[in-house]
Amino acid sequence: MEFGLSQDQMLLQDSVRRFTENKLPLDKVREYAAAKTGFNEGVWKGLVELAATGVLVPEQYGGAGFKMLDAIIIQEALGRTVAPAPFTAGAIMAPAALLSGGTEAQKHEWLPQIASGETKFGVGVTEVISLREGKGVSLSNGKINGNAMFVIDGGPADIFLIAAGRDNMAIVPRNAPGVTVTPLTTIDKTRAICEVGLDGVSADLLGGTDKAGGAIKQAIMAGRIALAADTLGAAEVMIYKAVEYAKQRKQFERVIGSFQAVKHMCAEMIAELDPMRSLIWYAAHAFDEAPDEAMLNTLLAKSGIAEAGKFIARTATEVHGGMGFTDLMGLHYWYKRVTVNRTLLGAPEILRNEAAIAQGWIAA
Amino acid sequence: MDLNYGQEYEDFRRELREFIKKNAHLAPPPGMGIYHPGPKEQAWQKLLIDHGYTCRTIPKKYGGYGGEADLLKTVICQEEFASANVNAGLSNQGIGMLVPTLMENGNEAQREKYIRPTIHGEIYWCQGYSEPGAGSDLASLRTHARVEDEHFIINGQKIWTSGAHFADMCFILVRTEPDKPKHEGISYIIMDMKTPGIEVRPLVTMTGAAEFNETFLTDVRVPVENVVGGRGLGWKVANTTLKHERGMLGDPAQMMSRVESILKIMQSETLDGKRLIEHPMYRDRLVAAQAKTEALKFHSLRLLTSSLNDQDPGVSRLVVKYYGTLLARELSDIALEALGELGTLYDGSPHIRSHGSWQWRNMFDLGLIIGGGTSQIQKNIISERGLGMPREPKPAESK
């Protein structure tokens, strides 16, 4: 019995955290966010060198062949440093989709490019989770039509994986005829979300026509675990920034961290966060090792950390007082990352409804 | 991440399951432990001890099973009895607090005299810690004793002494060294509840029941040999087991069974002709609490791993009492509020649901948020010991 990270996983955690912390001090975060590209060559190259981009790609396709728990260790480190890297879609969702539903030829074509970092993926599955406008994306007569909204990591992507209904997933090169890409600027400038318009696009379909239902589900599940880990990292850093600030900021001739009004806020934050870490670890573990439990635990983990994250983002900002509200302190980059993660791939209310369905509490 | 317990443990689990299946008809119903064990409880307890399914690590010479310390087997016992909803043996303050204290700090005579009858349910203990003026600041307690012909003469008042009205014995904290600083003047003393001078009055709580008592002590004579660990060391002695109590209140198996019970309510009760579970406003709250329950479940596995590896999990352990007691209350809130007006019925009213037990639990859950170190004390502990934040400075002495 060993519930937690292995020695190897702790080493991985150390090396990724060392890299991201070194590469992404606040002035760099600010600079990259201002660029709004959701991408930085140096950060991406470093991740390639750490073999992070191929973390989920099997060795036969040039990757590390690791598991989801390893992948979210990396994602958490990226969340901690609000890193501008298209990792969630490119290194977690895309390989999950390809491995689950890709033909041998598709895996052979794309997985090595994912591992080497030379091709970046954006993933558009919003329409099968919560459709807000329009009719979504559809496939008819072999052509893809519609608009895919909130395509994750779409800004810097070379290739899009777009769900066309529940059973088809199109592999769409950015420069294919009929494709238009419109940036959707969210409050979080560290990542580039976009809208992909598809007007009669001919595209290779993952696994063939009507064969991608399982792959879409798998990609969504993988993405939700990743975003949960990203929030975990970002929110934990917010707590420790608040604690450090409260230990040095003085008012009324005392450090404010000695006031119970302030330190109780810090205690509440860590109490909300820490048990969720255990649940997120388990969801990632179940993704590979206990598939029957993966869906429910993913839904509970992502909705649970979203609620904890919302509370922490607000409370950590309050602990910083007026400074927390300023750009100078820069805390808002973490606040915004957590806030956007909350809604991507399903806001908590949507996920809890799915969880009730997944357990048979209500009909689908 | 390896969630297999291994062959030896799975064998142990299988044997235990067979044991439960074969013997469950002998078991008294599972309960909270606030009653004096009768012959049925004592017989069941003996059967469990003989098989090593409770009091596993208590040495044979003190009436226990005499097994080696093996946390996983203890955990497997908890899991299997809970999932079968079968009484897991006696669980009370004597077994949970007094026995570990004697094992750690008692002398040989005390261990020989008290451990066997305690774990076999022949002696029931109450705890004499809190006082009207010493709650969160327990070390400021004022119940005191002077020494006369080899006896402590105890005077004072204790509160929250659950079970005192039928307890045989009490372990009590008493100020015996009035000239020493407050933490160093306290002794941990074993007191027979039949001693003259003890008056127990029931303390009726908001639930309408008297789950606790007030205990008044007037010139109560207790032999000095009944001190545990030495005079003036009571604070240290008590803290070895208080830690234990604070860890106990985040029981995920109990939370999971609450989620199941609430689900059954929501699947059978209706609002405007529609099952409660079909109403998103209630369903959403239940799933949100389920997420926290699952988090607590895996969190306890993480803490178990730390214990197995002899590692200090730091803040991860410190959050459990706070998180667990709030979650328990949140769950009973959901049950009651989903029932609407029906949830307020009590005292055997017509239309009452589950005999009013959700109301009772909901009020008692509030008691658990307060008892054993209030949520505010927990937040001090989490922030000071877990996050390294400074203590609140003491107010300047007023003149």
Place B307 in a pLDDT band, splitting at 50, 70 and 90: confident
B41 is catalytic: no
Would the pLDDT of A195 be above 60? Answer: yes
CA distances from B73 to B5, B6, B350 (A): 10, 11, 45
Would the pLDDT of B246 be above 60? Answer: no
Rounded to whole angstroms, the Cα distance separating A327 from B370 reads: 40
Rounded to whole angstroms, the Cα distance separating A21 from B159 reads: 53
**Cα dihedral angle (B139, B144, B147, B148), rounded to 10 degrees?**
-170
- B71/A contact by beta carbon, under 8 A: no
Helix, strand, or coil (residue B290): helix
What mean pLDDT is predicted for residues B121-145?
A: 96
The pLDDT value recorded for residue A125 is: 98
What residue of B is the nearest CA neighbor of A255? B390
Using the CB atoms, write b or e for B92-106: b if 16+ within 10 Å: bbbbbbbbbbbbebb
DSSP state of B391: P
DSSP line for B296-320:
HHHHHHHHHHHHHTT---THHHHTH
Q: Which A residues 251-280 touch B at CB under 8 Å?
A: 254-255, 257-260, 263-264, 266-268, 270-272, 274-276, 278-279
- B390/A contact by beta carbon, under 8 A: yes
Contacts of residue A98, Cβ cutoff 8 Å, sequence gap at least 6: A106, A107, A110, A111, A114, A206, A215
CA distances from B254 to A243, B24, B327, B331, B354 (A): 33, 19, 11, 11, 17
Place B245 in a pLDDT band, splitting at 50, 70 and 90: low
The neighbour count for residue B161, using CB atoms within 10 Å, is 25
What residue of A is the nearest CA neighbor of B2? A2
Scanning the structure block, which residue is given the tokens 């789950």? B211
DSSP state of B125: E
The neighbour count for residue B201, using CB atoms within 10 Å, is 13
DSSP line for A266-281:
HHHHHHHHHHHHHHHH
The pLDDT value recorded for residue B240 is: 80
CB of A162 closer than 8 Å to CB of A169 = yes
Share of chain B above pLDDT 90, in %: 84
Give which of B133, B220, B231, B218 is closest to B185, Cα–Cα: B231
- B395/A contact by beta carbon, under 8 A: no
- B319/A contact by beta carbon, under 8 A: yes
Contact A258 B392 (CB under 8 A): yes
- pTM (2 d.p.): 0.95
* Longest pairwise C-alpha distance within chain B: 75
The pLDDT value recorded for residue B78 is: 86
- A135/B contact by beta carbon, under 8 A: no
* Longest pairwise C-alpha distance within chain A: 74
Place B34 in a pLDDT band, splitting at 50, 70 and 90: confident
CA distances from A342 to A227, A235, B223, B351 (A): 8, 12, 64, 42
CB of B354 closer than 8 Å to CB of B290 = no
Scanning the structure block, which residue is given the tokens 């003890």? B198
What mean pLDDT is predicted for residues B5-16?
A: 95
CB of A315 closer than 8 Å to CB of A268 = yes
| Residue numbers in A near B278 (CB within 8 A) | 362
| Residue numbers in A near B302 (CB within 8 A) | 3-4, 278, 281
Rounded to whole angstroms, the Cα distance separating B74 from B52 reads: 9
What mean pLDDT is predicted for residues A355-360?
A: 98
| Residue numbers in A near B4 (CB within 8 A) | 1
The pLDDT value recorded for residue A325 is: 96
Share of chain B above pLDDT 70, in %: 96
Of residues B8 and B241, more confidence is placed in: B8
Contacts of residue B83, Cβ cutoff 8 Å, sequence gap at least 6: B253
The pLDDT value recorded for residue A338 is: 98
Which range scores top for mean pLDDT: B207-211, B220-224, B309-313? Answer: B220-224
DSSP state of A322: G
Place B250 in a pLDDT band, splitting at 50, 70 and 90: low
Give which of B232, B231, B195, B237 is closest to B216, Cα–Cα: B195
Contact A356 B287 (CB under 8 A): yes
Sign of CA dihedral B349, B354, B355, B359: negative
Helix (H) or strand (E) holding A230: helix A213-248
Contact B390 A352 (CB under 8 A): no
Select the residue from A256, A282, A285, A315 to test the B interface by mutation, using most B Cβ atoms within 10 A: A282
Would the pLDDT of B399 be above 80? Answer: no
CA distance A347 to chain B (A): 12
Contact B389 A246 (CB under 8 A): yes
Would the pLDDT of B398 be above 70? Answer: no
Q: Which of B5, B319, B387 sits opposite A243 (nearest CB)?
A: B387
- A152/B contact by beta carbon, under 8 A: no
Helix intervals (H) in chain B: 7-23, 39-51, 71-84, 93, 99-105, 108-119, 234-247, 252-268, 280-308, 315-318, 320-339, 357-370, 375-381
Contact B4 A353 (CB under 8 A): no
Helix, strand, or coil (residue B190): strand
Rg, C-alpha atoms of chain B: 23
Helix (H) or strand (E) holding B165: none
The pLDDT value recorded for residue B32 is: 59
| Residue numbers in A near B338 (CB within 8 A) | none
CB of B275 closer than 8 Å to CB of A361 = no
> What pLDDT digit, counting tens, does each position of A109-142 carry?
999 999 999 999 999 999 999 999 878 999 999 9
Active-site residue, from B184, B245, B294, B384: B245
Q: Is A130 exposed, middle or buried (0-12, 13-18, 19+ CB in 10 A)?
A: middle
Backbone angles phi, psi at B3, to 5 degrees: -95, 10
The pLDDT value recorded for residue B397 is: 56
Helix (H) or strand (E) holding B34: none
CB of B348 closer than 8 Å to CB of B356 = yes
The pLDDT value recorded for residue B336 is: 97
- A155 bridge partner residues: none
Rounded to whole angstroms, the Cα distance separating A344 from B233 reads: 57
Parallel, antiparallel or unpaired: strands A143-151 and A137-140? antiparallel
The pLDDT value recorded for residue A258 is: 97
| Average pLDDT taken over every residue of chain A | 97
Rounded to whole angstroms, the Cα distance separating B143 from B127 reads: 14
| Residue numbers in A near B376 (CB within 8 A) | 260, 264
Scanning the structure block, which residue is given the tokens 């980059």? A333
Q: Which A residues 193-252 touch B at CB under 8 Å?
A: 243, 246-247
Sign of CA dihedral A89, A95, A98, A104: positive
Q: Is A207 exposed, middle or buried (0-12, 13-18, 19+ CB in 10 A)?
A: buried
Q: Is B243 exposed, middle or buried (0-12, 13-18, 19+ CB in 10 A)?
A: exposed
Sign of CA dihedral A319, A321, A325, A330: negative
What mean pLDDT is predicted for residues B2-17?
A: 94
- Which stretches does DSSP call E strand in chain A? 121-124, 137-140, 143-151, 159-164, 168-173, 179-184, 193-202, 204-205, 250-251, 254-255
Q: Report the amino acid identity of residue B369.
A: I
Parallel, antiparallel or unpaired: strands A168-173 and A204-205? antiparallel
The pLDDT value recorded for residue A134 is: 79
DSSP state of A216: H
Backbone angles phi, psi at B159, to 5 degrees: -135, 160
Place A238 in a pLDDT band, splitting at 50, 70 and 90: very high
